[in-house]
Structure 1
Amino acid sequence: MDNLFKHYSRQVRCSDTEVNKEFLKIYKHDKHIEDWLTTLTSKLDLKDDAKANTLRCQANQLYKSKRFKDSFEIYTKAMCIASIDGNEIGLIVANRSALFYMMDYFEDSLKDIEFSLQCYCPDDVKLKLYIRRIKCYAKMNVKDKLKEALDFLENSHLIVTDEKKTEILSFVEIKKTDSIREVNEELPLLTAGPNPKFLYASSVIRLSFDKLRGRHVIANIDIKPGDVLFVEKPFVFAPVFVNDNIEMSSTKCYNCLKTIYSSIPCSFCVKTIYCDINCRKKCWEEFHRWECFGMRCNLWYYIGIGFPALRTIIKGVSTGLCTLETKFEDDTARFGVVDNNYPYFNKLVSNLSKMENVLPLIISAGVVVLFLETYTDFFDWLNEQSPDCYTKAGLIELIGGQITKHIAQLQCNSSVIHHISNRTLDDGGSVACAIYPSISMMNHSCSANVKISYIREVAVVRASEKISKGEEVFNCYGIDYRYADRQTRQDRCSQYYHFTCDCKICQRPELEMFVLDE
């Protein structure tokens, strides 16, 4: 994107109400966006069985060297690159199943065995998979499945040598080995139950409003450390790229962010993995049918926060891309709807009118709109949702302006989903950019009184200290007093969020030192 932005020197200022027209003026007459996108789409990452074969051989060598984590990552990458109906993908997944078996990940090994058997596999590989399936069930001591696997092998057309029969019998009698299972942590319950007026929030807090603080969160009663204040599903999230090689995570389902090891790839792009066919189908129908070609040309890597902005637009179409026309005071009576929270998201502050230059946001939105117009059927689909309401130019103006606004809203309100690693093959770290409208209602403090953790895509907010009845509940927007001095914090709040922080620790810098021994 830097190569695109260098063509622009002028500045554009506008408000939320003016952004649609400003977008269309630039989009109609700008050739730089088209040239940049044409260059990007001329180089595609496509399925390539020869490359997949090379990666499989590389992963095999890593496996032999006991570098299991590196081997797993290369196998998964090779699986994504292999054509979905070619001769390579079955071999790759078969080899990955052997890795899982070696690491006592028996459930994952079994999933990969079944996936591999649905693909092309020569008879010698099938025999290994049938025997490995028997070994998995023997290790897990699942007797009914073990008998089925034994019967299946006996009735197959494959020739089993006496040596193999002896090996199989030895495993049938083997003692049970505990399989390493994925820890799927259950979502906690909200302390004192849900607040009927505040979606995803506890009844121990409420949404309030005044002219000085805007919308903010107040404690209804005395809150104890550890009390659960929010358990919020994101309105929308977009997975993030994990390194300079423009890769997606090899352990997170692209659709639900569940930590997975056995996975299936997208049928078309080489980036995304899924828990199963259901997750892949759901994601395709909701988002990925318009994202997939962008993955093949690495558009979403370069467009940054324009990626979740696209998903936001798609989610908003069913609501008519509407914004609540109510006053902020009215939100205290009700905030949020379960089915589609777009109207409440669309009311989040964008700070467009406070920005010195909106042009970079407009250019980013222009790239997304031109991509949708040129390489997808998005606008045909959009016209079907609201026939005869807009001309093509009208739809482009509407979508471009809204994406520009959503990029600004995401810059001010989004959260980075961070997972903590608890398995050998999973590094954890930042996995997605998400928007949580209810959590966004908390104001900032450089010394927050809450802590946020993530279970898959869900954010869990707990009190980190006692909060007395009537006190405000504060989040930290990533500018913590423990890691930045006062001037740095003030500069970042002004630059990214367009306000001056006057939290207690900014008003009294001596409080930063209270943890030190005297």
Structure 2
Amino acid sequence: MNDENFDRNPDHMIKICHDYIDNSKLIEKCLKINRKNSKKSYEYRLKGNECYVRGLWNKCLYLYSQSLQYAPVSNDDSLPLAYGNRSAVNFQLERYELSILDIQMAIDNGYGNYKSETKLRNRQIECLLRLNRLDDARQISDMFGIEFSKPKIFDSTEKPIASSENEKIPEKIGLFSSKVCLSYDNHYGRYVRAGNNKSIESNELILIEHPYVHVLLPHFECKYCHHCCRQLSTIDQFECCSKCSIIAYCSNECRKNSWQQYHQYECSFLPFLWQFGIGHLVYCLMAKTDVDLILDIYQDSLNKSSKEIEQNLQPFLQPSSSTSKSTYHALFSLKTHQNQMNPVDIFFYRMTATLIIELLFRKNRYQTLKIKHLKQILIDVCFRHLCQTIFNSHTIMIPDSNDCSIPIATAFYPSLSLLNHSCDPNIQIIFKNGIECFIRSNRTIRSNEQIFNCYGINYRSADYKQRQQLLLDQYFFHCKCQICKNESKDFKL
């Protein structure tokens, strides 16, 4: 059967993916990779104990965190003992709030079933005293019958958890600057320009945007927070997934948000999803987006032409975020270029979309819903997002020690996607605070002048002919930016 027949027969595609998952034992194989391991947890804890005796606190903290990474959640002493030991290191590092958190986690996970809680409670009281929380310390003392001497007055300023560059985020994150206008015309489609009688000065902030969805590249897991992409160092108090041992978080809040939004659906399949390329990003997108929202926007799109969908500016006039309905609406409306893609790519994306939805059904993401043709609708939406990913996803770059930038993650920034390409852009993009995208002008932008991004192909890295071919192959357009217009005259000569 040829590709065209497959494309016309979605039920056949579903059966192929269903059989592939079962016959390849995909789920069983993934579950065997990088799961929790009591032996490894114990080995890391022993190494941590050796460093503790020698007073190597930062290394000790890292080893106890590694012990937590592999510690099973239930019916085992690995988790509570690792938390208990790490609380002692945080106490030595004068990070008393974190020590208290670890103490509570140790107790909540059954520390008292394996060792006496008295030592932990004494440490908890000492932390509270050093934070000058006398009433809380007395309450713990009375509750567990632990005496403590008359407290001293301590400097309650804790040492910093990590040194990271945190820029204050304005309240209207996700909205373009008031000096910016959104427009549409038949040549450019939707685009962004400086407003009427509103020039933008060099280095002026144009937009700060949080991605709707993102995924870390595999070899950066455990080096960066799986949820917010902040860099983790050996002195970080990183948190772990309760099910897998292959990711890490900068905080308990990130761990909880990640699990609630998408990680509960990707956790079992991560080793496979890492080999899935852009499919991993779209898998998380489908997993985190409320199905009622997907269905509402999908049904609304059936009554509109592609041009009507792509002309709509309204979703971009609301603040974007990783959870807002308008942000998903904006993302859904981004151009797909399906009509310009070759049949082989279309078939591949159709099959990938089918596999993604089949896996999400296996994870019970949609099983409770009784909606006619639900699976096929979700496959259609997933296919749309896969097509969009080729043209609208962005790479999160961070500076390295050699004054270069390295890619650590891929993401959807819907508002950033509105910016058209120029081989000589008038903005610069900087990623801060993990995944926050800061867009600033790199020169003065005159009133009504269009604001341009660069799609990775600029006049410094390639000549006119190379740029035109690369942009045509990947993005299906001939660049007519000013620098290309100037160079095209020379090229013709």
Using the size of structure 2 for normalisation, the TM-score is: 0.77
Distance in 1, matches of 2:399 and 2:126, equals: 32
Q: Which amino acid aligns with 2:358?
A: L
Superposed, 1:142-161 pairs within 5 Å as 142-145=131-134, 148-149=136-137, 152=140, 156=144
2:395 pairs with 399, 416, 420, which one? 416
State whether residues 239 and 248 of structure 2, in contact with CA within 8 Å, keep that contact through their aligned partners in structure 1.
Answer: yes
Superposed, 1:173-188 pairs within 5 Å as 178-181=158-161, 184-188=166-170
**Match of residue 16 from structure 1:** none
Moved more, 57-66 or 92-101: 57-66
State whether residues 215 and 328 of structure 1, in contact with CA within 8 Å, keep that contact through their aligned partners in structure 2.
Answer: no
1:360 pairs with 340, 348, 355, which one? 348
Instruction: Find out whether 1:335 has 2:316 as its counterpart.
Output: yes
Distance 1:120 1:154, change over 3 A: same
**Match of residue 4 from structure 1:** none
Q: Which amino acid aligns with 2:316?
A: F
**Match of residue 433 from structure 1:** 410
CA shift digits 1:455-500 (9 cap, x unpaired): 3444332222210111110112233445556566445433432333
Structure 1 residue 127: Cα displacement: 4.9
Instruction: Find out whether 1:347 has 2:336 as its counterpart.
Output: no
1:304 pairs with 264, 277, 289, which one? 277
**Match of residue 401 from structure 1:** 380
Distance in 1, matches of 2:62 and 2:9, equals: 45
Superposed, 1:188-199 pairs within 5 Å as 188=170
Instruction: Find out whether 1:204 has 2:185 as its counterpart.
Output: no
CA shift digits 1:183-212 (9 cap, x unpaired): 65421366xxx9xxxx72222111122222
**Match of residue 116 from structure 1:** 106
**Match of residue 199 from structure 2:** 222
Instruction: Find out whether 1:293 has 2:268 as its counterpart.
Output: yes
2:446 pairs with 457, 468, 483, which one? 468
Q: CA RMSD in A?
A: 4.1
Structure 1 residue 409: Cα displacement: 0.7
Distance in 2, matches of 1:67 and 1:485, equals: 54
**Match of residue 513 from structure 1:** none
Superposed, 1:244-263 pairs within 5 Å as 248-249=221-222, 252=225, 254=227, 261-263=236-238
Distance 1:301 1:76, change over 3 A: farther
Distance in 2, matches of 1:11 and 1:65, equals: 65
Structure 1 residue 88: Cα displacement: 1.0
2:475 pairs with 463, 472, 497, which one? 497
Distance 1:408 1:104, change over 3 A: farther
Distance 1:454 1:24, change over 3 A: farther
Q: Give 5+ residue unaligned stretches, structure 1.
A: 1-7, 14-18, 423-427, 511-518
Distance in 2, matches of 1:131 and 1:421, equals: 43
Using the size of structure 1 for normalisation, the TM-score is: 0.73
**Match of residue 38 from structure 1:** 25
Q: Give 5+ residue unaligned stretches, structure 2.
A: 489-493
Distance in 2, matches of 1:172 and 1:36, equals: 67
Distance 1:207 1:112, change over 3 A: same
Identity among equivalent pairs (%): 23
Distance 1:64 1:476, change over 3 A: farther
State whether residues 23 and 400 of structure 1, in contact with CA within 8 Å, keep that contact through their aligned partners in structure 2.
Answer: no
Report the count of equivalent residues: 458
